[in-house]
Structure 1
Amino acid sequence: MRVSDHFEKTAIANPDVEFAVFGDLRVSYAEARRTVHAIATALSREPGLRAGAVIGIYSSNDPRISMLQMGINRADFAWVGVHDRNAVETNAEVLDFMDGELVFFNSRYEKEVRQLRAGNSRVRRWICIDADSPEGESLASWLDGKFEEFPYSKPDMMRRACLVPTGGTTGPSKAVVHTHYTLEQGLIAQEKAFRIQSRSRVLSIAPLSHAAGMFAMAFYPSAGTNVIMSGFDAEKVLHLIEQERITHLFMPPTMIGALLVHPKVKSTDFSSVKMCLTGAAPIAPEKFKEIVALLGPVVWESYAQSETHMPVTVKAPEDYILKDGSFNESVLRSAGRAAEYVRIEIMDDDGNILPRGQRGEIVVRMPSLMQCYYKNPEATNEVSAFGFHHTGDVGIMDDAGFVTIVDRKKDMIVSGAFNIFPSEIEKIIHEIPAVLDCIVVGAPHEKWGEAVTAVIQLKPGQALNEDEVLALCRERLGGMKTPKRVEIWSELPRSPVGKLLRRVVREKFWQGHWRSI
């Protein structure tokens, strides 16, 4: 079934259950279903749209995003999330590259839409989801007279259902294509891997148009409620956990770090929380322990990619907490082991599967893998070499199957002919209590080629001496891996979804040089 069919089944069986909560707005499954059918009906009557056409969603968090995704899916079109924090130029490239034909947008981006309309002739219609707008017809007007049952038709499960840009803030260098089949497989796998129970209440903080929206879909089959925030606010997160009796959280390490230092965190009632899932970036073991101390044994970690959709690895509480209540330190440092339905291997550059304990690229086989990179067969073939999907991440698998990610292949620093993996150094620096986040890169050096350089963002109100960082690294890592330079920045660069941008930091140090390695 398509993901919209799973939604449909739940909405019919549980019409009065809350589908979404957004501020004072509460939407039942019956109300959401009515809107989903109207969206599908209106799309089916839109002149010129053929099955599989790409439709953009350009909005900050709003329950209408989820309803649009389900309506687009039911009508057999494909959606693409147009990130609201990207530069206008980037979004113009995204829409052009993805062949977007219709875009739903939020009125807060009217200025940006005006610029996009001026430079993008491919998009034939712009529809404002929340208001009347001079830049496009309102969703209410567009749906007028369309509130009727949209007939079911047997879908082609191999048809594309969504496109996911992977070019970050530099443009749509690649776009992942997921089909109805891979979306359904991801939904099923997440529901099983994270043991989602009936009537769960998930707090959505990250953009619903991207990974957070995919996570929220996993709660549809069990009549889950999606409590939506328009953006991250630590105090509001704490308030909503209590007020809405949140059972499931998904937060990248950057959000968790900010939550841990909030003055109200220790007075918050977390008793409703059954799972706090973190991912999107490695998390330092010391920070992981802090979260467990705060929430109890409900903290999970998962590793996935846009290309895989469903989790590649899962680390559950019983994996890292021993029977005596202490932590299994080696497991704590890992990203977990293969989720169900997933095969993981460590491979060298020649396609050989390496023995346990050896370092190499993490490669996988799994049912929710992308169909391809959009309009890029060369990249598709490259990432699928030797019969596995190549993650581009370097890892080590132990005898129990736990995978520790040591870095991305391209992030490796070569200093004095030695290969140095930044994450190994970052994990040590993260142990310093004053550190909020850290990025280690190779900066140009006349003698060594690259000098290990640490750039640190501190927790609010904290101070740090460079000598403290160097002494700890020298003690734990030895002289070769100890940074030659430490800088404190007020803010580290992040992508629209909150991932730290190592590339941006590295580029700063290599500006003006004729080489970049």
Structure 2
Amino acid sequence: GLSKMNVRHSIDRAIREYPDRTALVFGDRRLSFSELSDRVNRLANGLMRLGISKGDRVGMLLRNCCEFIEIDFALSKTGIVRVPLNARLTGSDHEYMLNDSGANTLIFGEEFTETVQEIKPRVRTVETFVRVSQGLSMENVLNAIDYEGLIEKNPSEEPGGEVEEQDLHTLFYTSGTTGKPKGVMLTQKSWANVTINLILDYGPFTEEDVLLNTQPLSHGAGFFVLPCFVNGGTNVLLPDLKPSAVFETIEREKVTVLKLVPTMLYQLMESPEKDRYDLSSLHSIIYGGSPIAVPRLIEAVQFFGKKLVQLYGQAEAPMCISTFSRRDHIIEGSEEVVERLKSAGKPCINVEVRIVDDHGKDVQPGEVGEVIVRGYHIMKGYWNRPEETAQTLKDGWVYTGDLGYFDSHDYIFLVDRKKDMIISGAFNIYPKEIEEVIVTHPRVKEVAVVGVPDEKWGEAVKAVVVPKPGVEVTEQEIIDYCRERIASFKKPKTVDVVPELPRNPYGKVLKAALREKYWKGFDRRIH
């Protein structure tokens, strides 16, 4: 029955179906499906023998490696809840997430020994530390349990216990640009459905597929392991992300699917070595996670051909809100068609998307509203945060906080984050639109546009600009540049030139921090 809609079922089926195929490649390590299964079962039994049981939370602090996927599968099969920690965050972030989730175990890569040592006294609930050796032979100062030892000492029989579809599978901490990160609760059912959705929208995946994942598995990229795995394909992970290593791996492993963020796509495009390798095995390059500039997208299509696919999702509706497909990446043709390169594509196959006004009523095509999403994959809510859950999850719909509109052909165009919108006079102004203009100025490296207090209009547009290295740019130049290119009421009234913009560890600009200094003593709610 449906109550068995869980990840364990999918993993076990693939292992029976493809025992001798290569499941995993990392550096010079290669694991077949049956070898991986053997290690996963031993690990699962080992964790249960340590007294870790279904529903307990386990922190995972590792860079991409085979062990990451082994742990993933062992937790999925036993109903122990994954709490992936992004290696790019700081010790205090990890400490907050471990305490907030009430994790009783932390599995960490040897290279994080110092971080773990530093936070250990303040991590209240963690009793068990397991260390994955990465061949660095660092001293085991924490008296942590050795990961390989755990695998060697335990039996490879199937771990006991039942996993139901409503059981918690993962707590994903959002990259909060506002306040503390929130733990997004994803059930076994949500994870299984993300897998199905990715196969529908980015597949088909077959046993001939080889997927190279260049993003941290602790982040959204981790969702792509299963769609490939359940169909008998091979997952390839890289210890080194230099463009030459990526190209070399594509050629050597005959990679068919490449998963990356726009920044990595730019690095590949800019690499002088890009023409030296045979990349003909590739049929899909899946990108997403941050906005992409249209001129760069056109260059990428010119180089790689029609292999690019864009995804739009967020932690609360993971990976699957809309898809901009391979065939949509048209770089020549009517203005309307080329304009679509700015869109986030069409709603995913198994997902409902609406765009609504402040009263929850659908808006007309071309009219801006908030993007809301419903599907079997959405979150159950935020961990221990009923108020925030009630604000985001209403009647089974996730309110994304993203503003956008549908065009007449069902393409979604994202306009901005709702909380970043500026209301000046009676006009709604979207900072993203102004930023897209200013960033084309030849001396501007990056820019953030925010609303600042204005006695007459309520809010006024301010641009905060970072010039390119070694050049200067003035307020007047930027205002004049905008005057020629956007409606007068949208152009910045003031411009600040700064050496850098405040960002969170994921690279997102912290607009709340930028706004704060201008709003001291005023009553606009700082989000």
- What residue is the counterpart of 2:212 in the other structure? 203
Tell me if the contact between 2:421 and 2:431 (Cα under 8 Å) persists in the aligned partners: yes
Correspondence for 1:156: 164
Deviates more, 1:262-271 or 1:329-338: 262-271
Closer/same/farther in 2, CA of residues 170 and 318 from structure 1, 3 Å limit: closer
Render the CA deviation track for 1:422-454: whole Å, top value 9, x for unaligned.
111233345567766543323556766544344
Distance 1:395 1:297, change over 3 A: same
Question: How many angstroms does 1:44 deviate by?
Answer: 1.9
The aligned runs of 1:217-228 (5 Å cut-off) are 217-228=226-237
Q: Deviations over 1:184-215 (max 9, x none)?
A: 01001101100232132222222111211112
User: Hey, what's the Cα distance between the residues in 2 that align with 1:206 and 1:511?
Assistant: 37
**Letter of the 1:474 counterpart:** R
- The answer to whether the aligner puts 1:55 opposite 2:58 as a matched pair is yes
Matched to 1:54, the amino acid is R
Q: Which structure 1 segments of 5+ residues have no match?
A: none
User: What's the C-alpha RMSD, in Å, of the aligned pairs?
Assistant: 2.9
- For the residue of structure 2 that corresponds to 1:352, the secondary structure is coil
- 5-14 or 490-499, which deviates more: 490-499
Deviations 1:85-108 (A, max 9, x none): 222122111111101011100111
Choose 280-289 or 356-365, whichever is displaced more.
280-289
Secondary structure of 1:304's counterpart equals strand
Per-residue CA shift, 1:324-358, capped at 9, x if unaligned? 69981232111011111111111111121222221
Q: Which moved more, 1:112-121 or 1:243-252?
A: 243-252
User: Quick check: 417-426 or 486-495, which moved more?
Assistant: 486-495
Give the corresponding residue for 1:378.
Answer: 387
Q: How does 1:490-501 map to 2 (within 5 A)?
A: 492-501=501-510
- Counterpart of 2:123 in structure 1 is 120
User: Contact 1:196–1:219 at 8 Å: present in 2 too?
Assistant: no
What is aligned with 2:196?
A: 188
Corresponding residue SS for 2:23: strand
The alignment status of 1:16 with 2:25, answered yes or no, reads: no
Partner of 2:50: 46
2:140 equivalent to 1:133: yes
- The partner residue of 1:30 within 6, 28, 34 is 34
> In 2 relative to 1, CA 268–474 (structure 1 residues): closer, same or farther, beyond 3 Å?
farther
Higher mean Cα deviation, 462-471 or 143-152? Answer: 462-471
Letter of the aligned partner of 2:106 in structure 1?
V
Where do 1:111-510 residues align within 5 Å?
111-130=114-133, 133-135=140-142, 136-151=144-159, 153-168=161-176, 172-198=180-206, 199-230=208-239, 232-321=241-330, 328-416=337-425, 418-431=427-440, 438-443=447-452, 450-455=459-464, 470-485=479-494, 492-507=501-516, 509-510=517-518
Aligned residue type for 2:450: V
Matches of 1:76 and 1:54, distance apart in 2: 10
Instruction: Please tell me whether the aligned partners of residues 206 and 232 of structure 1 are also in contact (alpha carbons under 8 angstroms).
Output: no
Q: Aligned to 1:476, what secondary structure does the other structure show?
A: coil
Instruction: Find the counterpart in structure 1 of residue 96 from structure 2.
Output: 93
Structure 2 counterpart SS, 1:100: coil
| Length, aligned pairs only | 514
2:133 aligned partner, one-letter code: D
- What is the CA–CA distance in structure 2 between the aligned matches of 1:489 and 1:232, rounded to whole Å? 31
CA deviation vs aligned residue, 1:110-149 (integer Å, no higher than 9, x gap): 1111122111231010100126622212101222321311
> Is contact 1:266-1:294 (8 Å) kept?
no
The code of the aligned residue for 1:106 comes to: G
Q: Shift of the alpha carbon at 1:27?
A: 2.3
Matched letter for residue 184 of structure 1: A
**Per-residue CA distance 1:58-111 (angstroms, 9 max, x = gap):** 112212111101001111111011222222122111111101011100111111
8 A contact 2:311–2:319 mirrored in 1: no
- The question of 1:82 aligning with 2:85 is answered yes
> 1:102 matched to which residue of 2?
105
Partners of 2:332 and 2:422 in 1: CA distance: 39
Distance 1:237 1:369 in 2: 32
Corresponding residue SS for 2:87: coil
Distance 2:274 2:496 in 1: 29
Amino acid at match of 1:130: S
Change (3 A) 1:38 1:327: farther
TM-score (norm 2): 0.88
Where 1:297 maps in the other structure, the secondary structure is coil
Q: Shift in Å at residue 417 of structure 1?
A: 5.2
Any idea what the Cα deviations from partners look like across 1:213-252, whole Å, max 9, x if unmatched? 1122221112222221346433433333333332222222
Looking at structure 1, the residues matched to 268 and 184 of structure 2 have their Cα atoms a distance apart, in angstroms, of 32
* Equivalent pair of 2:369/2:405 in contact (CA under 8 Å): yes
Report Cα offsets for 1:255-281 as digits up to 9, x if no partner.
323333333335444322211122112
Cα distance between partner residues in 1 of 2:245 and 2:470 = 23
Cα deviation digits, residues 18-77 of structure 1 (max 9, x gap): 222222222222221111111111122122x33211111011221211110100111111
Deviation larger for 429-438 or 277-286: 429-438
CA distance in 2, matches of 1:326, 1:23: 45
Task: Give the AA of the match of 1:139.
Answer: Y
For the residue of structure 1 that corresponds to 2:112, the secondary structure is: helix
Query: What letter corresponds to residue 34 of structure 2 in structure 1?
Result: A
Is residue 309–residue 326 contact of structure 2 (8 Å, CA) maintained in 1? Answer: yes
Residue pair 2:452, 2:519 contacting (<8 A) in 1 also: no
1:346-376 Cα offsets, whole Å, 9 max, x none, are 1111121222221111111111011121112
Relative to structure 1, the CA distance from residue 282 to residue 57 in structure 2 (aligned partners, 3 Å threshold; closer, same or farther) is: same
Residues 494 and 204 (structure 1), Cα distance of their counterparts in 2 relative to 1, 3 Å cut: farther
Cα distance change, pair 25–438 in 1 and its aligned pair in 2 (3 A): farther
Q: For residue 185 of structure 1, what is the amino acid of its counterpart?
A: N
Question: Kindly tell me: are residues 152 and 274 of structure 1, through their superposed partners in 2, closer, same or farther at Cα, counting changes over 3 Å?
Answer: farther
Could you report, residue by residue, the CA deviation over 1:165-186 in whole angstroms, capped at 9, with x for unpaired residues?
Answer: 1153777442111111110010
Aligned CA distance change for structure 1 residues 294 and 170 (closer, same or farther; 3 Å): same
State the AA in 1 paired with 2:314: Q
Counterparts of 2:242 and 2:456, CA distance in 1: 46
Tell me how far 1:506 sits from its aligned partner.
Answer: 4.1
SS at match of 2:229: coil
